[in-house]
Structure 1
Amino acid sequence: MNIRPFKRPQPVRLGVLLLNLGGPEKLADVEPFLRNLFSDPSIIRLPIPALQRPFGWLIARLRRGKSRRLYEKIGGGSPQRRITTEQAAALQDELACQGVQARVYVGMVCWHPLIESTFQQVLQDRITHLVVLPLFPHFSVTTTGAAAKKLIRCFDQHGGVREMRRSYVTHYETEPGYIAALTDLIAEEMRRFPDPRPEAIQLLFSAHSIPTKYVERGDPYLRHHERTIAAVMTALERRLGTRPPHRLSFQSKVGPVRWLEPSTEDTLRRLAGEGHEQVLTVPISFVSEHIETLYELDIQYQALAQEVGIPHFRRVPALNCHRAFIRGLAGLVRARLAAGYPLQATEQAARG
């Protein structure tokens, strides 16, 4: 009779991996960051794959001077890594308060700590259960999809790591904590206008744009933003007794292809032409401060608002470590734990 040796069960080691894009922390990082960004086919795809890497290097070289000047204006680098690390620590503490012991990691698509290096740390820590949580509330192949592909490639290069159970959060555009945090910040900022009446303040939800072709092919990015806005406006109406006027626009377009419109720049000009004097921008796509909020919204669009005749232009802060947002992220993690760890179709799609 063959008797199999007894195997002691592995202790459960829970990990949570926060995924984000990343940004250069100092001016010397700008060009290599741009190379990583423009070389990634999930973010900007060229019809000829062999040209992807040379294209990334060329665009990085052409744009480095302009990009460095922009980062100089916000202090010499992006604070995204620092803030994302703070979000990870806050989430780890929140989970511990709720009785869930987990180590929370940070992995970036285009800058350090890169997903590949964080994955090695996850392996070294012998994590047995991993929840993958992107810091992109709205799914797009250019954001969550790009990050997932890099992570799945890591798993594939290590034979699949089938002993590590994992689950993916793919989007959370109406998660209650996320909506509550946005609503709190909007309501607080509205009180700072000379005329704080809701009907006197134009809300402008500004999202990072993506090429229109992705949406036409089924990317739910635009639909997810519309759901977020609907949920926020309902929450604001409950709080304020009425809905302030609102619009959705898009920023951060890169390259000559057609991107989602209207642009935030064009919308500001239109609002000025309509006589709006109080505009509050809401950076709906961004859960941490970085170049798109600190430069585009706070400097570029602030100057444009003054130029076109909008005297009172304000911006809602990014969520960062807002308590409701962190609690919402903890709720997403606990929901995945309760649902088990199926090897979701996310991985199959990422390999495709």
Structure 2
Amino acid sequence: MAEPLKTGQADVPQHAPAGHPAVARGKVGVLLVNLGTPDGTDYWSMRRYLSEFLSDRRVIELNPLLWQPILQGPILTFRPSKSGAAYKKVWMEEGSPLLVYTRRQAEKLAARIGSDELLVDFAMTYGNPSIASKIERLKDEGCDRIAIVALYPQYSATTTASVHDRAFAALSKLRWQPAVRTTPPFFDKPAYVEALAASISEHLAGLDFTPDRVLMSYHGIPKAYFDKGDPYHCHCQKTTRLVAEKLGWSDGYAMTTFQSRFGPQEWLQPYTDKTLEALPGEGVKKLAVVSPAFISDCLETLEELAILGREQFTEAGGTHYSVVPCLNDSERAVDVIETVVKRELAGWVAD
């Protein structure tokens, strides 16, 4: 009897035709996925990215026959330049912050748990590197099992489901598909709550003022999506409650708000920008802002909150303002991701 192949070794059927390519198998892949990023801040890079992002039916649920003429016409004529200018304010030497931090998270996780038999990589839902290209790469390198890890603490169809949709769309084009697992949200998992609470506590301790309130600002979604059953709003509210309990804050000290609305329809409220404008008039002059929906800093945290949010708050009469950095590529962030990944790899990889 022929000796069985070792894990990860190339496997060729015994009766394969001459010249049949070797198929590597037996390895496990971990693919970390975040939202996405343009390739650059120029007009055409921004236009390609925004077109892909805003064409996703999970993000914009309007009938494409109605939506695409609006998107490809006025929106993508003017919005790329505006968005590009915003990205220029936060662009890092290695690329956009979201790309840089997600890459670093994957590298650090690989250094912790990776091996010849366990490969760790990252992808973006929109832009590059794509989910499809990374699934293909992991498969070609011998992964017959892949864990898809959406890096969103709270679940929403607009984010987590989009990751899964693209992963399964990529699988649908493969003749030999790897087995795939997807990870559930981790907004209420102790590892995440403790890491977020510790990060906030450390940041507040380093300030030269004591905040009157703490604003927990989450990316918004249209209210209609919540009405249809998206659990995101509930996950955000619970995140705020769990963090406040962990830090021993009194009721009402932490506020939950929602940012980044787009278009004329109603989104989840209260709105972050309107709240920033109103708080000084209510006696809240000193404010700290946290972004619990983002595990990595990005345009929405570095430009919308840290720059525009500060301007809105101070122009309304606020005197002190500070934004708590996201977990980014800190050891705390990698601890959280490692906890999520190891739970999903149970049965695939020995402890």
TM-score range, shorter chain: 0.7 to 0.9
* Aligned-pair CA distance for 1:175: 2.1
Are residues 1:209 and 2:220 paired?
yes
Residue 99 of structure 2 corresponds to 81
Q: Which residue of 2 aligns with 1:245?
A: 253
Query: Can you list the C-alpha shifts for 1:1-46, whole angstroms capped at 9, x where unaligned?
Result: xxx9886465331110111111124212211111111111111121
Whole-angstrom distance in 2 between the partners of 1:263 and 1:303: 16
**Which residue of 2 is the match for residue 180 of structure 1?**
194
How many residue pairs are counted as aligned between the two chains? 327
For 1:202 and 1:255, locate their aligned partners in 2 and report how far apart those are by CA, in whole Å. 29
Cross-structure match for 2:19: none
Q: Classify the secondary structure of the residue corresponding to 2:121.
A: strand
Structure 2 equivalent of residue 223 of structure 1:
234
Question: For residue 233 of structure 2, what is the amino acid of its counterpart?
Answer: L
Within 2, Cα distance between the matches of 1:9 and 1:51?
55
> For residues 269-348 of structure 1, what are the structure 2 equivalents within 5 Å?
269-338=277-346
Work out the CA distance in 1 between the residues paired with 2:72 and 2:3: 54
1:344 counterpart residue number:
none
The Cα of 1:195 is off from its aligned counterpart by 3.9
Equivalence map 1:21-170=2 (5 Å): 21-28=35-42, 29-47=45-63, 49-51=64-66, 53-58=68-73, 59-75=75-91, 78-96=96-114, 102-159=118-175, 161=177, 164-170=178-184
Q: What TM-score, normalized to structure 2?
A: 0.86
Q: Which moved more, 1:69-78 or 1:314-323?
A: 69-78
Superposed CA RMSD: 2.4
- Give the drift of 1:89: 0.7
- The residue number in structure 1 matching 2:264 is 256
Query: Contact 1:18/1:132 (CA < 8 Å) preserved in 2?
Result: yes
| Contact map agreement 2:91 2:97 (CA 8 A) in 1 | no
- For 1:349, the equivalent position in structure 2 comes to none
Contact 2:90-2:299 within 8 A present in 1 as well: yes
- Equivalent residues of 1:35, 1:57 under 8 A apart: yes
**Within 2, Cα distance between the matches of 1:283 and 1:295?**
12
Q: Which moved more, 1:123-132 or 1:66-75?
A: 66-75
SS in 2 for 1:129: strand
Distance across 2 between alignment mates of 1:114 and 1:51 = 27
